[in-house]
Amino acid sequence: MSVYVGVLVVYLGILAMIGLIMGRRGRTAEGFAIGGRSVGPWVTALSFVAAYYSSVVIIGGGAFGWRFGLSTLWVGAGNVLIGTTLAWIVLGRRIRRFTENLDAMTLPGFFFGRYGSPRARIFSASVTALFLVVYNVSVLKGMANAFEVLMDLPYWVGVVLSGVVILFYTSVGGYLAVVWTSMVQGVVMIVALTLLTFVSLQRVGGMSAVVERLNAIDPGLVHTPGAWGWAGLISFTLIVSLGTWGMPQLIVRFYSIKKDSMLRIGTVIVTLGASVAMLPYLTGAIARVLVGDLDSADQAIPALTRLVLNDWGGALFLAGVVAAGMSTFAGVLIIISSSMVRDVWVHGLGRRLEPATELRANRIMSLAVGLVSLLIALKPPALVLVLTAFSWAVIASTNLWPLLFGLYWKRTSPRATLASMIAGVVSALLWQAWPHLGLPALPPALAGLHGFVVGTSVALVVIVAGTLVGRPAPEACVRRAWGSEPSAEAGVDAAAAVPLGPRPAIEDLET
């Protein structure tokens, strides 16, 4: 126990120190929200890995590996190829350029700048903030489960300990503290997962022994789709892979990178780092062989760690789980606070704030949201990955297509965008609630589909059909997004070089 305590005290002390140092560099609202667009490719890439593959994937992915076996490796492959590499290739460069052209610091802010729609801005900010709180609950639950099994601490102690440290360095240091601590956390997480996988495979006798013993337990644990079924496997692969394309805490990494040319090396780094996404699903399946009955599948990875690693290895792995969870939780706090203060309070309700007041409001909001998440996490419902999938389904149904079409289709209609957001959210929620509404049972072929598939499918149809028959976005918004019109910082010379006539201020469009 003393080893665990010593490692955690040193590790958490380092994170707090980073928060204090970075707090001196983020003294504006832009610095708090996106670090002044000054972050390099290594920090951006590794912080993306830590924020994506959080304690949700380590604990929740391991739980699914324990329940459904080796078919869950397809989920990990989707995380790497679709959720990481393809996202960086398709979204990264355009998001970096467009958000700078539009002076946008949040995803709802991008929607307003790109479409000139204040309603889309407020709706996206509100839905995102609400369901990111649900996601944060799952992150805290994952960390607390690790404390509970590895250190024999009560669940609530793990929740409070994790939450308090995160709230400190996030509110003090802002986005720069989040990305720099996330880089450290990403390295710790990668080392810890690699160690656990290597030692677990040695303990069980290699991969062939894993397959043989899983097959003896249940042949469905070694075949695809096996016990999961095609509908469930495809749904969850899509939601935790394609669904990340609409998750603000990951998208913001593209806002903050110093130059869009750095995204090329960043894509290589992030792909290599993201390969760890395969490991929790594999170690979860190994845990099914080595660990007996569990009170909850979410205890599979912590229980396996306690069985196969010594105290030093277990302490390192606990630090990895805490690292992954903290990086995600902190990033979500920044997103929620920035969206609520800037997109809802300042621009949505027209309550202007001085720069110093806005920075203080961001810090207060991040503390408030973190405390709410912490209180809910003390008695959370469902499995970790189930909570994650639910929140991601709603957020992705809101943001995915308006973001993608906003980057690639100039004609995309503002009204169609808002209608798509509303239809996606309603469809995802209705589908998730269907079994509890007393309605006729769904056909077996559809029953396994997750609300993410339904919500994003409906949202896609609405935004395409609405754009084809609706009015396109204001020309000034389109030209500004694509860089055809000088931005507010461009100055007189740039304006003279591109004589497009007077540009309405972004605040004028909002009114």
Residue 222 placed within a domain = yes
Which range of residues forms the domain containing residue 114? Answer: 2-23+47-392
- Concatenating the DSSP letter of every residue in 277-302 gives GHHHHHHHHHHHHH----S-GGGHHH
Lowest mean pLDDT among 239-248, 455-464, 493-502: 493-502
Q: Is residue 398 included in any domain, yes or no?
A: no
In a domain, 454, yes or no: no
**In a domain? residue 509:** no
| Non-local CB neighbours of 5 within 8 Å, separated by 6+ positions | none
CA distance 281 to 326: 21
Nearest to 318 by CA among 201, 196, 135, 197: 196
317: CATH? 1.20.1730.10
With tokens 């960390």, the residue in question is 143
Decide if 161 is inside a domain: yes
Q: How many independent structural domains does the chain possess? A: 1
DSSP characters over 434-472: GGGTTPPPPPHHHHT--HHHHHHHHHHHHHHHHHHHSPP
Q: How far apart are CA 511 and CA 506, in angstroms?
A: 9
Taking only the tens place, the pLDDT of each residue in 167-187 is 776 666 566 767 777 777 778
Expressed in angstroms, the distance from the first to the final Cα of the chain is 60
Q: Which amino acid is at 191?
A: V
Sign of CA pseudo-dihedral 254, 193, 376, 178: negative
Provide the whole-model pTM.
0.78
pLDDT band at 198 (very low <50, low <70, confident <90, very high): very high
What length is written for the chain?
511
Model confidence pLDDT, tens digit, residues 54-101: 666 787 888 889 989 999 999 999 999 999 999 999 999 999 999 989
User: What span, in angstroms and rounded, lies between the C-alpha atoms of 328 and 474?
Assistant: 36
Q: Which of 30, 46, 39, 452 is nearest to 267 (CA)?
A: 46
Taking only the tens place, the pLDDT of each residue in 324-369 is: 677 677 777 777 888 888 788 887 777 777 777 877 887 788 888 8
Structural domain contains residue 400: no
Rounded to a whole number of angstroms, the CA Rg of the chain reads: 23
Is residue 199 domain-resident? yes
pLDDT of residue 496: 31
**CA distances, 411 to each of 114, 216, 424 (Å):** 11, 57, 20
Between CA 252 and CA 262, with CA 257 as vertex, the angle to 5 degrees is 130
32 lies in some domain: no
Tokens of 81: 């190829």
Would you give the DSSP letter of residue 154? -
Least trusted range by pLDDT, from 2-6, 264-268, 428-432, 494-498: 494-498
